[in-house]
């Protein structure tokens, strides 16, 4: 008996914010992500061709979840120019939670930061060519 694999067309990871204006400015202006949908109390930003992060205004009282004081989610953005991202964010006044670290056992370079709602972000560059090709085709 063969297993049928289901595939989605895209993915959206939803984050909930008490301060929606600061969060949307962070993702749109500071990170420079393209806003692709504005539903008033929810906005969606493209993080890759078919992957998105959705932001929800917790003050609107809508959506499935609620903003939390501590968030147990890590959103990883896979990038080619890790140093360029680090420099851009620090120039914008963002203080990363760590410097760029090479993790030899995982064959990556990475750094972490926390967004305005307390969600952790990781910016990561794969060092192994096959992993780079799988996750972003370069």
Q: Look at residue 117 and tell me whether its pLDDT is greater than 80.
A: yes
Mean pLDDT of 106-128: 93
Tell me what pLDDT residue 138 has.
44
Q: How far is CA 37 from CA 13, 41, 54, in A?
A: 14, 11, 9
pLDDT per position as a tens digit, 16-31: 999 999 999 999 999 9
- Please report the pLDDT score of residue 8 as a whole number: 75
The CA distance from 81 to 79, in Å, is 6
Domains of the chain: 8-63 (3.10.180.10), 68-138 (3.30.720.110)
Residue 115 has a pLDDT of: 94
Share the mean pLDDT of the chain. 90
- Quick: pLDDT tens for 38-84: 999 999 999 998 899 999 999 998 888 888 888 778 899 999 899 99
Give 35 or 74, the one with higher predicted confidence: 35
Cβ neighbors of 65 (< 8 A, separation 6 or more) are 14, 16, 56
pLDDT at residue number 136: 67
Distance CA 74, CA 97 (A): 13
Q: Which residues pair with 54 in a beta bridge?
A: 14, 44
- 90-102 tens-digit pLDDT: 999 999 999 999 9
For residue 47, what pLDDT is reported? 94
């Amino acid at each position: 008996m063969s297993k049928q694999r289901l595939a989605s067309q895209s993915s959206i990871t939803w984050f909930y914010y008490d301060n929606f204006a600061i969060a949307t400015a962070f993702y749109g202006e500071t990170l420079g992500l393209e806003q692709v949908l504005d539903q008033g109390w929810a906005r969606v930003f493209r993080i890759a061709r078919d992957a998105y992060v959705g932001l929800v205004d917790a003050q609107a009282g809508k959506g499935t979840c609620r903003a939390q004081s501590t968030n147990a989610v890590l959103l990883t953005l896979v990038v080619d120019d890790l140093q360029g991202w680090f420099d851009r964010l620090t120039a914008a006044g963002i203080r990363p939670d760590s410097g760029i670290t090479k993790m030899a056992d995982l064959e990556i370079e990475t750094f972490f930061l926390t967004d305005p709602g307390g969600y952790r972000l990781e910016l990561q560059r794969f060092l192994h060519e096959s992993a780079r090709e799988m996750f972003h085709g370069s």
